[in-house]
Amino acid sequence: MSRIVFLVIGIIYSVAVSAAPADTTKTLIIFFDGLRPDYIRPELMPNLYKLSLTASHGLSHRSIFPTVTRVNATSYTTGCYPDKHGILGNSIFFPSLNNNKVYNTGDARDLVEADSLLKEGLVQAVSMGQVIHNTGNEMMVFSSGSSGQAYLQDHSRSGRMVNTDLILPDSFKSKVLSEIGPVPAAQKPNSLRHKWITDGLLKYGITDGGPLVTAIWYSDPDGAAHSDGIGSPAAIESLKSVDHEFGRILEALDKTGLRSRFNIVISTDHGFATYIGKENLVGFLISRGLKQSVKSNDVIVAGGAIYINGADTSLSKKIVFALQENPSFGAIFTRPVNANSNKGIIPGTLSFATIHWNYLGRVPDILVDMNWSDSVNQYGYKGSTYSVGVAGHGSLSPYETSIQLIVDGPGFQKQVKSVLPTANIDIAPTVLKLHGLPIPEGMDGRTIDELLLGKRTSKQNVQSKTEIIEVKNEVNGTLYILRLHRKLLKDKAYIDFAEIIRRKTK
C-alpha cells in the first residue's frame, strides 16, 4: 500500500545549547553536481575511483524529484522532501504573495526576498546546520555553484558559508578574500573557482579545530555538461578538474593525520540526460491556445509547474489532455482526489503526494515532467529527455534519478555494497547519528544503518519491495498510461522513475 505524506506547517525544533557528546571524529560531505554513476571511472576520476574501491556504496541511491539542484540541496540538509521543506523547484511561484513573480532559487537575493515576504517561512524544515549549531558546534558550507544552492544548504545561516558569490557572515568576507584571494572569474570548466573553493576548505574546513561537519559542493560536471553535452571534451575536462581538487582534499587529510578521523559522504544532486526535444512547455501552451503569450499571467509556468490564473475553470483539464496526447511530455501530477488517494483530480494524473511534493499553498494546478528514452548521444552516453537544449536534468528518467552514494571513514563499514534504497534525504539523519546528535522528528529520511560500522543489516531481515502505481486516460484516440516506479522499505517510499506508454486506440 502506498503512503500519502501530509504537509507539516511550521516545524519547530530546538534543543538547549550544550556541549556535544565527546566525539573526536568529523564529517566531510562532498557533492559533485550532476555526477552520473558511469562517470566514476579510473580514466576520468582516478581519485574518486580509487576511494570507491575500498569505500562502501549505496547502489540504489536516488535523487529527490524534481531532480534539480536546489531541491536536493534543501532536501539533503533538512532530511525532508519538498512537501515539508517547501522548495519545489529551481524556480518557484508563491500564489500567496500575489505578485506573479517566479523566484529563481539559484539566486540568494531572490531567496532572501521571498523569505522576508513569507515572514521567514521560505523553508519550513529544520536544517542539519541548525541542529549542529544548537548543540554548540558548527556546520560550514563551501560551494563553487550558485549562491542559492549554497544558501539552501543552511538556510538558517547558523554556520559560516563560503561561496563564489556569497560569503557569510559579512564579517567573515574580508578575511576570506584577504587570505584566500579574490574570487576568480567563471569559466568552462570552472577549474579556477573549484581550486579557490578547495583552498577555502583546506584553510577553514578540514582542520583540527575546524567545524564538526563541513560540506563542499562543486558546480561541475553539471555546468560543462549543460553547455556542451554529456561526454563532451569540456565535460570530461570538468570531471578531471573536480577530481583533482578531491585528490587535494584527500592528500591534505593524509598529511595532517586527520584522515582516520574524518567520515566522508559523497553524493550528487541528480544524474544527467541528453536533450532531444523541439518545443518547450511555454511554447507548447501558447501554440495550443492554452496561454496567451510568453509574459502573460493567465497561466504562469515555473519549471514544469503550471499555475492557472484565468477564469476558465476547465483550462486545467484542457492543458492536461493536450499534454497527454503529446509524446514529448511524460508524467503528469495534480492535487489528490482525496487524502487517501494516489490519483490526481484530473483523469490519468497521479497525486502530488506520490512524489512527496504536496506542499499545500505552493503546489500548482499541474506538474508536468518531460518524457524520456534510452537513446545514446554522440559520445556514447545513454539516456535522453524531450527537453529543449543540449543536456540537463529535472525529470523522472532513471538517468536523472539514479545516483550513487559513497561513504568512507571511521563511522562506516568497508567495501559494503548495499542495494537497499536510499536517497539524499537520508544524509542528514545519518550524519547526525554519526555524531550522537538529536535527529528532529520531522525528518523524512532514515539513518543508513546498513553502511554504519557495527550495523551490518541482514538481507534476510530487511528487504525492499517494488511498487508500481498506474493511472491511465484516453484522449482523442490516444491511450495515455502513466506508471510510477517506487521502492518501499518499511514505512519509506523511494522514487525510482516514471514511464509513459501511449497507444493508439483509433
DSSP per residue over 232-294, as a string? -HHHHHHHHHHHHHHHHHHHHHHHTT-GGGEEEEEE-S---EEE--S--HHHHHHHTTSSS-T
* Cell 554548540 found at: 136
Percentage of residues of the chain with pLDDT beyond 70: 94
16 pLDDT band, cuts 50/70/90, is very low
DSSP H helix total and E strand total for the chain? 14, 23
Asked if 426 contacts 79 with a C-beta cutoff of 8 angstroms, the reply is yes
What pLDDT score does 4 carry?
Answer: 32
Q: Report the C-alpha gap between 377 and 231 in whole angstroms.
A: 9
pLDDT over 80 at 331, yes or no? yes
SS3 state of residue 192: helix
pTM of the model: 0.93
Residues 6+ apart with CB under 8 A from 112: none
Residue 12 has pLDDT above 70, yes or no: no
For the segment 207-220, the average pLDDT, to the nearest whole number, is 96
pLDDT, tens digit, for every residue of 60-111?
A: 999 999 999 999 999 999 999 999 999 999 999 999 998 999 999 999 999 9
What is residue 461's predicted lDDT score, i.e. its pLDDT? 67
Q: What percent of the chain has pLDDT over 90?
A: 91
Delineate the domains of the chain, giving CATH numbers in brackets: 26-272+392-451 (3.40.720.10), 279-327+329-370+465-504 (no CATH)
What are the pLDDT digits (tens) for 430-473? 999 999 999 999 999 999 999 999 855 544 467 899 999 999 99
Give the model confidence (pLDDT) of 240-273 as tens digits: 999 999 999 999 999 999 999 999 999 999 999 9
Structural contact between residues 224 and 390, judged by C-beta atoms closer than 8 angstroms:
no
Q: Among 201, 179, 192, 259, which Cα is nearest to 220's?
A: 192
Mean pLDDT over residues 226-245, rounded?
Answer: 98
**Inter-residue contact 477 to 326 (CB < 8 Å):** no
CA distance 316 to 306: 9
> Which helix or strand (DSSP H or E) is residue 475 part of?
strand 465-475
Beta bridge partners of 300: 307
Nearest to 27 by CA among 264, 278, 250: 264
Give me the amino acid identity at 106: G
Say if residue 6's pLDDT is above 50: no
Q: Give residue-wise pLDDT tens across range 354-413.
A: 999 999 999 999 999 999 999 999 999 999 999 999 999 999 999 999 999 999 999 999
Q: What angle do CA 357, 358, 364 make, to 5 degrees?
A: 95
* DSSP assignments along 224-238, one per residue: HHHHH-TT-HHHHHH
Q: How confident is the model at residue 297 (pLDDT cuts 50, 70, 90)?
A: very high
Question: Where does residue 116 rank: exposed (0-12), middle (13-18), buried (19+ CB within 10 A)?
Answer: exposed
Alpha carbon distance 211, 308 (integer Å): 46
* Closest residue by Cα to residue 95 from 300, 327, 379: 300
Contact, 91 vs 102, CB < 8 A?
A: yes
